[in-house]
Amino acid sequence: MTTKSRIWTSSVALTAMLCITARAAELPGFVSELSAGTIAVISDGDFVAESYADSRLAPREAGHQDVLTVLSLNGEKITIGSLPVSNSVTAAPEILVLTPDGSTAFVTERLGQRSPTAETVRDLPPGNRLFAVDLSDKASPQLADTAEIASFPEGLAVSPDGQRAAVVSNTPDASIVQIVPYSGGRFGGTASFDLAELGVTGQAEAPRGGVTATNVQWHPSGRFIAVNINTQNRVAFFEISGMGDAISLRPWGNIVTVGADPFVGRFTPDGSYYLTSDWGRDFGATTLAGRIPQKPSSISVVRLGDQDAPDARHERIGGAETDLSSEGLAVSPNGRLVATVNMRGTALPQESGRFRREGSVTLLSFDPATGRLEKAGDYAFEGALPEGGAFDLTGSHFLATIFQGHAGTGAKAGAGLEVFRVVQGERPRLERVGRLPMPHGVHHVDIAE
């Protein structure tokens, strides 16, 4: 069932919103070149980059907040609005998604909002909410509805028709897929499915038998979803049928083994393939440095079986190497380019010998006829914890998030969206355009009409 909840808005938040709207005319000129009606950006104000190493939350005096920022581009006219929305960088980037028409933004929270006494990561409560934000007035986003879902939601996707949200959560006892209808500005009843009852099980001496679902994605047909089980290096596919209270979920074909730690994934626009960004972390490590890999991440290419066959067979047919610590993954609208956003060593303490000031974007070409991936290059930029990314609507630009800048670098190298121009050709490449400043803690971006 759904509940309507209130998100508090402080005078500081209102001031920030007014200031950012007033600065719309001062945005870099390249913003008007982007092919996008709506750009939505989510920021986590509770964390700083150092939180992963020392578990300390952001200093209160910094004034950071969890916030959704929305840019509306209409020719030369650009408007900016914002709304405080609880979210957490500790999940995969995919905790923000826009409906295809850009009218609604969905956001979920792996960890809940910081209390007045919270000082460490352990002090944050489990998240259990799914938010719908009305973007009919981009300059003034409004909370439309809130649904209570299973705790610790990790990933979020929206159906092609914009009428259903899919969420994966990992409670202490179960990994759960939830389908939540949305119509007329309100959530309907949530249909929940335990992955163990759908054949996704584990025997490890760990919570849920070692099963952790980190990503859910909706097939372009609207009939299927994919769920990444990153702790088992597997992807499971399910067929969805029914509406309202009669929604059902059943396995579609076989579970596929991919590369190590498939944190996120994407279907290709034609629905023929599923790609996973295989980060490669060591989940047995007890330190941050031990968990973060020292070799490049990779992408797996899964060719999907016949959509109408009762015994569809999916197969991993290949892949390609990317860069160190790939997290975000994006496929261009025409399906011929793929990009990963790579944290490299920016998450490590600066005194670490593996610390790096620059993250990167890896660009790859993709052949939809054969499923072949070919790496075009890595494109570095300064900043900490780059995670999410997206192509614009024509695939002419790519936007990567930067969680925060390094000390002493100033606003031009601070939190924001790093914007690249995509140069097409026999060997495509990226050209850096500039950085679009955003509130501290940016970790995902989505683009719609």
Q: How confident is the model at residue 408 (pLDDT cuts 50, 70, 90)?
A: low
Domain ranges of the chain: 2-448
- Assess contact for 344 and 324: CB atoms under 8 A: yes
Distance CA 178, CA 204 (A): 24
Task: Tell me the three state secondary structure of residue 75.
Answer: coil
Tally of CA atoms within 13 A in the half-sphere of 432 that contains its CB: 14
Of the options 2.40.50.100, 2.130.10.10, 2.60.120.200, 3.40.50.300, the CATH number for the domain spanning 2-448:
2.130.10.10
Q: How confident is the model at residue 7 (pLDDT cuts 50, 70, 90)?
A: very low
Considering only CA atoms, which of 422, 406, 416 is closest in space to residue 437? 416
Distance CA 205, CA 284 (A): 12
Whose structure tokens read 């088992």? 232
Taking the alpha carbons at both ends of the chain, their separation in whole angstroms is 30
Distance CA 255, CA 236 (A): 5
The pLDDT assigned to 324 comes to 97
- For 355, phi then psi, to 5°, come to -65, 140
Among 11-15, 291-295, 415-419, the range scoring the smallest mean pLDDT is 11-15
The one-letter amino acid code at 445 reads V
Query: Does the pLDDT of residue 17 top 60, yes or no?
Result: no
Other beta carbons within 10 angstroms of residue 400's beta carbon come to 30
**What are the tens digits of pLDDT across the range 177-232?**
999 999 999 999 999 999 999 999 998 888 899 999 999 999 999 999 999 999 99
Distance CA 30, CA 421 (A): 10
Q: How many residues does the chain have?
A: 449
Between vectors from CA 399 to CA 402 and to CA 66, what angle results, nearest 5°? 45
Whose structure tokens read 């100033």? 410
Q: How confident is the model at residue 52 (pLDDT cuts 50, 70, 90)?
A: very high
The pLDDT assigned to 11 comes to 35
- In this structure, the dihedral spanned by the alpha carbons of residues 407, 408, 414 and 415, taken in order and rounded to 10 degrees, is 20
Q: Measure Cα distances from 30 to 35, 117, 182, 394, 418 in Å.
A: 11, 42, 35, 15, 11
Query: Does the pLDDT of residue 21 top 90, yes or no?
Result: no
**What are the tens digits of pLDDT across the range 327-350?**
999 999 999 999 999 999 998 998
Provide the greatest CA pair distance for the chain.
59
The pLDDT assigned to 13 comes to 41
Query: Does the pLDDT of residue 273 top 50, yes or no?
Result: yes
Query: Does the pLDDT of residue 412 top 60, yes or no?
Result: yes
| Tokens at 150, concatenated | 């299973």
Sign of the torsion formed by the C-alpha atoms of 313, 260, 339 and 42 = positive
Query: Does the pLDDT of residue 20 top 70, yes or no?
Result: no
Strand partners for 319: 300
238: left (phi over 0), alpha (psi -120 to 50) or beta: beta
Average pLDDT of the residues in 301-311: 92
pTM attached to this predicted model:
0.93
Task: Tell me the three state secondary structure of residue 30.
Answer: helix
Q: How confident is the model at residue 411 (pLDDT cuts 50, 70, 90)?
A: low
Average pLDDT of the residues in 50-55: 93
Among 179-193, 294-308, 311-325, 395-409, the range scoring the smallest mean pLDDT is 395-409
Among 148-152, 204-208, 392-396, the range scoring the smallest mean pLDDT is 204-208
Non-local CB neighbours of 426 within 8 Å, separated by 6+ positions: none
Q: How confident is the model at residue 3 (pLDDT cuts 50, 70, 90)?
A: very low
